[in-house]
Amino acid sequence: MMIKDRLLKLPDEIKEMKIELINADKRLEHYNEEVKKWELRELDLIANEIDEDGKAKYSNDTKRKAELERRKEGEDYQRLLKALNDARLEKDLIYIELDRLYNEQSNLRAICRLEGGSDVHEV
């Protein structure tokens, strides 16, 4: 492919990657919110749990935090955490690809300047 053709196509590819980045950002935000909601729901359940005597089952902050950590080992939380981590990875990979496209564009421009400059001296 000729340099000129590639340079003309890169802006559209960069635009598409930026759109993908926006979408990845939204997914990341969504899963961050889902994790926070899960934690708040569980904290509420833990705080309101009572034993057979009608007393708070998790009577202090340390016990509540320990119970929350125990519950985080469960399937629902782990699934949310995996989705969150996958969304982070996806966003990071899009940034890498976007950087690659910008670098390619910059390199091709430099080649054009060099070739353009050498043409002037040869004439």
- Taking the C-alpha atoms of residue 113 and residue 100, their distance in angstroms, rounded to an integer, is 20
Domain count, the chain: 1
The predicted-structure confidence for 70-105, as pLDDT tens digits, reads as follows 999 999 999 999 999 999 999 999 999 999 999 999
What is the number of alpha carbons within 13 Å of residue 2 lying toward its C-beta? 4
Given pLDDT bands bounded at 50, 70 and 90, which one contains residue 115?
confident
- Read off the pTM: 0.80
10 within some domain: no
1 within some domain: no
- Taking the C-alpha atoms of residue 51 and residue 54, their distance in angstroms, rounded to an integer, is 5
Whether the CA torsion 13, 99, 24, 26 is positive or negative: it is negative
Note down the domain range covering 77.
25-122
